[in-house]
Structure 1
Amino acid sequence: MSECITLTLSILREADWLPPSCAYRLLRDGFDLPDWHPLRSGTHETVHKVGASVRDRCINERDAGMLEDHEVDWPGEWPEHAPPCTAPLSSDT
């Protein structure tokens, strides 16, 4: 899509808007992906199982009215019910 940003290494170095569970951000910051991440598990269902998805926390923007009335802080936080990502990548990877 024309509005999409192509993530490059230079953009990733400066990007402070990526959610904490974003694979690009985790790898940039020296962490491995958590077991529930779909790139590790092979399925998006693990994201829903641990509560790291937006399932049931969103509304259709056509039904929302003024989007400013629906701002939330949680996209900038580690998913509340998801296990923490505490395993840094080994230095030889």
Structure 2
Amino acid sequence: MTQSNTPFWQTKSLQEMTRPEWESLCDGCAKCCLHKLIDDEGAEDAAVDTDFINDNEELHYTNVACQYLNDKKCECTVYSKRTQLVPSCVQLTQDNLEQVFYMPTSCSYRRLAEGRGLPSWHPLLNKGKKSAMHKAGMSVRGKVIFDDMVTEEQYEDFIVVWPLHDLD
């Protein structure tokens, strides 16, 4: 909280936040750990894993999670090394906010970038606890399989819409 008791996320832009403030915004839902596919109606492949999106393409979420995700805690088991071990892992920072489109609509970074504020279930609004998020069904807990269990060619068989659900 700032001196005026207004939370930092209401007084600072995403670019103005300190690293600890930035990191605390992550709600820990782990939806970013899901493999996403880009659907391009003009391409030969119906959906491909990629790191960019064009205007004529559509982003799809799968329920296939990174093998390094602890799906009970909704935490990365190799957080400090995640981008080395998984080169396609998007590490969202103040310097690459243009990639926020990869995040689901419920993502706190995306919500703040779009001027929507934090959701009611966010840990920062619930004494630092994830229980309200899990109870609201906003995390990946109990909803995923892991990428070491299926081939990339099978990902499109696991396209889901629940990661796009947003409560408030």
TM bracket (short chain): 0.5 to 0.7
Residue 133 of structure 2: aligned partner: 47
Q: For the structure 1 residues 14 and 53, does the alpha-carbon distance in structure 2 shift closer, same or farther, using more than 3 Å as the test?
A: closer
Alpha-carbon contact 1:37-1:46 (below 8 Å) kept: yes
Q: Are the equivalent residues in 1 in contact too, given 2:92–2:99 (CA < 8 A)?
A: no
Could you tell me how far apart the structure 1 residues matched to 2:97 and 2:115 are? Answer: 13
Stretches of structure 1 lacking an aligned partner (at least 5 in a row): 86-93
CA RMSD between the two structures? 2.3
Unaligned runs of 5+ residues in structure 2 are 1-81
Q: Verify the 8 A CA contact 1:37 1:47 in the aligned structure 2.
A: yes
Q: Distance in 1 between matches of 2:141 and 2:135?
A: 10
Would you say 1:24 and 2:112 are equivalent positions?
A: no
Contact residue 92 and residue 100 of structure 2 kept, 8 A: no
Residue in structure 2 matched with residue 74 of structure 1 by the alignment: 162
- Residue 62 of structure 1 corresponds to 148
State the distance in 1 between where 2:91 and 2:149 align. 30
Calculate the TM-score normalised by the size of structure 2.
0.40
Q: Which amino acid aligns with 1:74?
A: W
How many residues were matched structurally? 80
Q: Percent identity?
A: 38
Deviations 1:34-72 (A, max 9, x none): 221123221111111111112222123333452232122
Query: Structure 1 residues 13 and 63 mapped into 2: Cα distance closer, same or farther (>3 Å)?
Result: closer
What is the letter of the counterpart of residue 78 of structure 1? H
